[in-house]
Amino acid sequence: MSLASVSTVAVSLFILGMFTMLVLNLNKLAENLESQVQINVYIKEDVNREDIKDLEGIIKDMQGVENVTYVDRETAMETFKKRLGDQTSILEALEDTNPLPESLVVELKEPAMVQTAAETLQKYDIVEEAKYGQDVIEHLFDITRLLRIFGFGLMLLLAGATLFIISNTIRLTVFARRKEIAIMKYVGATDWFIRWPFLLEGMVMGLCGGIIADIFLQLGYAEVESKIYNTLAFFPLIPADPFMTYISIGVIITGMFIGAMGSTISLKRFLEV
């Protein structure tokens, strides 16, 4: 067991852990966005305030609706201005007119119902348009699905690479001790008696690599957490506690498991006597 092989294992496990964390966080983001699915129901111009109130009541009683909020033209403008930020040229072009319609923001309990709900709402006379971020959400789902598959593939690949490194390192030890192993077989040592020191070596390698990887993962996540908190506060990063504890345990156990598997593989041929 050399420093070189332990650090290679550590690097593999680090990337493995990093990808797990990335995939889990993206899942969380997707879930969050999914749960935030809402329909903007834009009202036609010059509609009676009373009619809007009536529609609000109808929507509230609809199945699967969590909440309905009325947004008047001024509030809509405020939100719009906030979103524009520095790009004041658009506002200047508007010259103090407010082209934004009144709207009802409908939040749903089940994101799956968004399409039918929007279609139903579209049918009301006073409704200009019932819109939801269909494209955006479907895109995001496509991306996370892709990332999940890609991440899973990469994780398998890295696990394979770790297995390869560990089994190769153990193979060297086994090879150096092949005479001893052959004698042990001849005098009647059991396979388990011969196997366990190598198994231990593989598992210790996985453990050491796992611990080193884990230290860097912890530091890295703390760093990312503070960065994101300062710049992209809306991004719902999974809180480090207890998430990172699970990741630590996962990385270390994965390392030890792969280590045990690696040594079993490299010993197999030498036990066939």
Partner 1 sequence: MIHMKNLKKIYDDTGTIALENINLDVKKGEFVFLVGPSGAGKSTFIKLLLREVVPDEGVLTVNGRDVIRMSKKDVPYLRRGLGVIFQDYRLLPDKTVYENVAFAMQVIEAPRRLIQRNVNNVLEIVGLRDKYKCFPNQLSGGEQQRVAIARAIVNNPTILIADEPTGNLDPETSWEIMDIFLKINAAGTTILMATHDKEIVNVMKKRVIAIEDGHIVRDEMRGRYGYEN
> Which one among 33, 184, 200, 228 touches partner 1, defined by CB under 8 A?
184
> Which one among 28, 73, 131, 185 touches partner 1, defined by CB under 8 A?
185
Find the angle CA(248)-CA(249)-CA(253) to the nearest 5 degrees: 120
Of 144-152, 177-185, 220-228, 256-264, which part binds partner 1 (CB under 8 A)?
Answer: 177-185
Of 11-19, 63-71, 136-144, 181-189, which part binds partner 1 (CB under 8 A)?
Answer: 181-189
96: left (phi over 0), alpha (psi -120 to 50) or beta: left
Calpha distance 135→52 (Å, rounded): 27
> Cβ 260 to partner 1, closest distance in Å?
20
Beta bridge partners of 40: 105, 131
187 touches partner 1 by CB under 8 A? yes
Residue number, 150 or 196, with CB nearest to partner 1 = 196
190 touches partner 1 by CB under 8 A? yes
> Who contacts 184 (Cβ-Cβ below 8 Å, separation ≥6)?
193, 194
Beta strands per DSSP E along the chain: 38-43, 65-71, 103-108, 127-132
Burial category of 168 from C-beta neighbours within 10 Å (exposed 0-12, middle 13-18, buried 19 and up): middle
Among 186, 187, 197, 189, which Cα is nearest to 273's? 186
Residue number, 45 or 272, with CB nearest to partner 1 = 272
Residue number, 186 or 234, with CB nearest to partner 1 = 186
**Which letter does DSSP use for residue 46 in this model?**
T
182 touches partner 1 by CB under 8 A? yes
> Cβ 11 to partner 1, closest distance in Å?
34
> Cβ 273 to partner 1, closest distance in Å?
6
173 touches partner 1 by CB under 8 A? no
Residue number, 150 or 193, with CB nearest to partner 1 = 193
> Cβ 193 to partner 1, closest distance in Å?
6
273 touches partner 1 by CB under 8 A? yes
Q: Is 102 helix (H, G, I), strand (E, B) or coil?
A: coil
How far is residue 30 CA from its own chain's centroid?
8
- If you compute the radius of gyration of the chain from its CA atoms, what whole number of angstroms results? 30
Of 36-44, 47-55, 159-167, 183-191, which part binds partner 1 (CB under 8 A)?
Answer: 183-191
Of 14-22, 123-131, 164-172, 186-194, which part binds partner 1 (CB under 8 A)?
Answer: 186-194
Task: Retrieve residue 29's tokens.
Answer: 């983001």
> Cβ 270 to partner 1, closest distance in Å?
14
Q: Using CB under 8 A as the criterion, which residues of the chain lie in contact with partner 1 when the complex forms?
A: 179-180, 182-191, 193-194, 273
